[in-house]
Amino acid sequence: MRDRTNTEDAGAARGMTKPRLAVPIGPEDHALGSDTAAIQLVEFGDYQCSYCAEAHLVIRELQQHFGDALLFVFRNMPLVNLHPRAEAAAEAAEAAGLQGRFWPMHDLLFMNQSDLSDTALLRYAGQAGADAELVAEDLRTGTTRRRIQADIDDAIGRGVTGTPTFFVNGIRYDGSWELAQFANHLRHELH
């Protein structure tokens, strides 16, 4: 698992501030957990990124461990230069989200990264409980592109250049997202 360096922590020690979320968590976000959770964890992710798939499993463990103390939000950051199917996958997830099926689609995309073809995306939408024909129409018309672009603009404005990138309680976290270390960091947020 990739271990990120703490260059931001070093900068903070020299008096530099860490990047903060520009767009606070709101009702339009895809969120799991209580709005009153002590820990708000925002991920900027890419459905074709293998590191994001690894982080997806870590996030699930953190959700089980912290329960109601953790609110998790996923925002899109498809790195289209590296992952040519990431944007289509993000659009499909958002289209399923318009039908209230974002999280099942989100999970299926990470579990099936090896096939993010148009046909597969519609199959996953159906498996997620969404109307695949409506998802196909949303993909054709670009219904969800504006939302994805807003996520990308927010990420770029905060200096996000790779995925996954996490913000904990509004402040970018550049430490390791290996389970034990990430959980330890989040535990400190509870005090």
Tens-place pLDDT, residues 96-123: 999 999 999 999 999 999 999 999 999 9
Residues 6 and 11: their CA atoms lie apart, in Å, by: 9
- Looking at residue 16, what is its pLDDT? 61
**pLDDT tens digits for range 25-83:** 999 999 999 999 999 999 999 999 999 999 999 999 999 999 999 999 999 999 999 99
Under 8 Å between Cβ of 168 and 186: yes
Under 8 Å between Cβ of 66 and 104: no
Residue 117 domain-assigned (yes or no): yes
Identify each DSSP E strand in the chain by its residue range. 30-32, 39-45, 70-76, 165-168, 171-173
Residue 35 domain-assigned (yes or no): no
Confidence band of 13 (pLDDT split at 50, 70, 90)? very low
Residue 183 domain-assigned (yes or no): no
Residue 131 domain-assigned (yes or no): yes
Residue 186 domain-assigned (yes or no): no
**Count of structural domains within the chain:** 1
H helices within 131-178, ranges in order? 132-141, 145-157
Average confidence score pLDDT of the chain: 91
DSSP 34: -
Domain residue limits at 145: 48-64+85-167
Residue 56 domain-assigned (yes or no): yes
Three-state SS at 20 = strand
- Looking at residue 162, what is its pLDDT? 94
Residue 128 domain-assigned (yes or no): yes
